[in-house]
Every structure is written in structure tokens, then in C-alpha cells.
Amino acid sequence: SFVKKWDLIMTAVLMAAAPIVVGFLFAQKHIIKGMVAGAVK
């Protein structure tokens, strides 16, 4: 029978996704600032 190690799979997914989420959170301020600056002009 096939036994998938879900705890390991979820850990790997989380470790792969974490830098993207952190990067997005840091960039969000700049993205919003850019959108607002573009809308004001």
C-alpha cells in the first residue's frame, strides 16, 4: 500500500511558500505606495 508522509509534504510546501509570503508582505507597502502615486498623478 502507498503511504504518503503528509507531515513531510506539508513541511516542504510550507518551507517553499514561506519566502514568497514574506517577500510579498515586505513588498506590499511599496506596491500600494506605487499604486497610490500612480492614481494621484
Full-model pTM: 0.48
Domain hosting residue 36, numbered range: 1-40
CA atoms within a 13 Å half-sphere pointing along the CA-CB vector of 30: 5
> Number of structural domains, the chain?
1
Q: What pLDDT is recorded for position 20?
A: 94
Scanning the structure block, which residue is given the C-alpha cell 500500500?
1
pLDDT of residue 14: 95
What's the confidence (pLDDT) of residue 3?
77
pLDDT in tens, 1-41: 677 888 999 999 999 999 999 999 999 988 889 989 888 76
DSSP for residue 35: H
